[in-house]
């Protein structure tokens, strides 16, 4: 029975982290900041677990499975957090095109919503891209993020469409 409580406790910790993060950051989610604060949060959680390990008897395999569950739960939320933070351009176009409209109206709608410019501004704020003499490039942080992201997509065999 204790193992079920620990399992739900791990999932609850992830939800507590996310609720706390979004409470303080509202819709200003910066992925690097989000990930960095999660690392600090995890160090505290596992530090406390290590400190109180004498009071808790768990096998090494169960601890490994809890850590795996912790990471999988975090990554599933991490990769879907953008749904909470942004209006998806694809979703906006789909909703608009369901009304069977023409290209000009769609273009004006997207321009009015400032989809591209707001996304570029957001990527600059996250320090994932930078602009130099009207040329937009990936920053070193952006390049590393892309490498990790594409590695995970390839490793997990995830197809990205949209």
Q: Is the pLDDT of residue 84 over 60?
A: no
Residue 27: phi and psi, rounded to 5, are -105, 20
**For residues 108-135, average pLDDT:** 80
Quote the pTM value.
Answer: 0.54
Beta carbons of 142 and 154 less than 8 angstroms apart: no
Q: What are the pLDDT digits (tens) for 41-64?
A: 888 888 887 777 666 677 778 778
What is the pLDDT confidence band of residue 100, given thresholds at 50, 70 and 90? confident
Q: Percent of the chain beyond pLDDT 90?
A: 1
Q: Is the pLDDT of residue 83 over 60?
A: no
**Which tops the pLDDT comparison, 118 or 71?**
71
Q: What are the pLDDT digits (tens) for 1-27?
A: 577 887 888 888 888 888 888 787 766
What is the pLDDT confidence band of residue 89, given thresholds at 50, 70 and 90? low
Radius of gyration of the CA atoms of the chain, in A: 20
Most confident of 15-29, 65-79, 95-109, 141-155: 141-155
Integer Cα distance of 130 and 121 in angstroms: 10
Q: Is the pLDDT of residue 71 over 80?
A: yes
Q: Is the pLDDT of residue 147 over 80?
A: yes
Confidence (pLDDT) at 91? 66
Integer Cα distance of 162 and 89 in angstroms: 9
Confidence (pLDDT) at 50? 74
Beta carbons of 153 and 160 less than 8 angstroms apart: yes
């Amino acid at each position: 029975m204790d193992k079920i409580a620990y399992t739900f406790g791990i999932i609850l910790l992830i939800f507590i982290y996310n609720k706390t993060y979004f409470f303080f950051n509202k819709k200003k989610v910066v992925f690097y900041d989000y990930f960095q604060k999660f690392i600090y949060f995890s160090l505290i959680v596992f530090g406390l677990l290590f400190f109180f390990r004498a009071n808790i008897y768990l096998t090494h395999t169960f601890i490994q499975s809890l850590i795996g569950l912790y990471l999988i739960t975090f990554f599933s939320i991490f990769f879907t957090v953008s749904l909470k933070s942004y209006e998806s351009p694809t979703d906006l176009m789909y909703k608009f095109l369901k009304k069977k409209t023409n290209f000009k109206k769609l273009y004006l709608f997207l321009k009015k919503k400032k989809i591209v410019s707001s996304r570029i501004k957001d990527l600059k704020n996250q320090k994932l891209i930078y602009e130099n003499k009207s040329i937009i490039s990936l920053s070193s942080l952006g390049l590393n993020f892309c490498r990790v992201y594409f590695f995970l997509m390839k490793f997990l065999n995830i197809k990205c469409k949209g």
